[in-house]
Amino acid sequence: MFLKAELPWNVVIPAENLDVKGLMLQKEIIIRLLDEFSTKKATKDFGYFLAVTSLDKIGEGKVRQLTGDVLFPVVFSCITFKLLRGEILEGVVHKVLKHGVLLRCGPVENVYLSSLKMPDYKHMPGENPCFLNDKSSKIEKDVMIRFIVIGTKWLEADREFQALVSLDGDYLGPVA
């Protein structure tokens, strides 16, 4: 689910980037914020960070004694994305493996649909491997699939989420 969140953050402006003109300072704070926002990529609690939509508040700066850098507490609004357990979503197959398929959903690349979670589909090897069921419904690369999220995992080192999904339920499967 995509969310609009309001977050408090601290932005540190190095001493050498400080300028006497107030307008330049505001610009510097925005540049820093945007930069840190995209470097951070995601957090366990909020999910992926897509885009800052507005800078709502800049608090009073505090000088750091040793370096002379100034720390500004800011509040901004942004768009985030997080997969929730039990949520029904749509994604695109980008890899067909022997024991399941990998899907892309929003910014998440590793959404795994195991063959155990689509028991009526059988793996068909070949140049363009796919999964087929009795009703000739086909799951192959670039097919759009509606699924339910059964688990998510946060990988701290990669700042990334993985998800396990299933087709077990009504109205789930490939969509036209």
Partner 1 sequence: MSGEEEENAAELKIGEEFLKAKCLMNCEVSLILEHKYEQLQQMSEDPMNQVSQVFEKSLQYVKRFSRYKNPDAVRQVREILSRYQLAEFELCVLGNLCPETVEEAIAMVPSIKTKGRAHDDEAIEKMLNDLSLIKKFE
Q: Which of 53, 63, 155, 158 binds partner 1 (CB under 8 A)?
A: 53
Count residues near partner 1 (CB under 8 A). Answer: 41
Nearer to partner 1, 11 or 108 (CB): 108
Nearer to partner 1, 26 or 67 (CB): 26
> Which of 7, 106, 1 has the alpha carbon at shortest distance from 54?
7
SS3 readout for 34-69 = HHHHHHHCEECCCEEEEEEEEEEEECCCEECCCCCC
Q: How far is the CB of 66 from partner 1 (least distance, A)?
A: 32
Please, which of residues 99-128 interact with partner 1 by CB under 8 A?
104-107, 109
Bridge-based pairing of strands 108-114 and 160-166 is parallel
Structural Rg of the chain based on CA atoms: 22
Q: Is 137 strand, coil or helix?
A: coil
State the first-to-last Cα distance of the chain, in angstroms, to the nearest integer.
21
Give the type of residue at 176. Answer: A
Q: Which of 3, 97, 116, 155 binds partner 1 (CB under 8 A)?
A: 3
CA atoms of 106 and 68, how far apart (whole Å)? 41
Q: Is 27 in the site for partner 1 (CB under 8 A)?
A: no
Q: Is 153 in the site for partner 1 (CB under 8 A)?
A: yes
Nearer to partner 1, 69 or 140 (CB): 140
Q: Is 54 in the site for partner 1 (CB under 8 A)?
A: no
The footprint of partner 1 (CB under 8 A) covers 1-5, 38, 41-42, 48-51, 53, 79, 81-82, 84-90, 92, 104-107, 109, 144, 146, 148-153, 164, 169-171
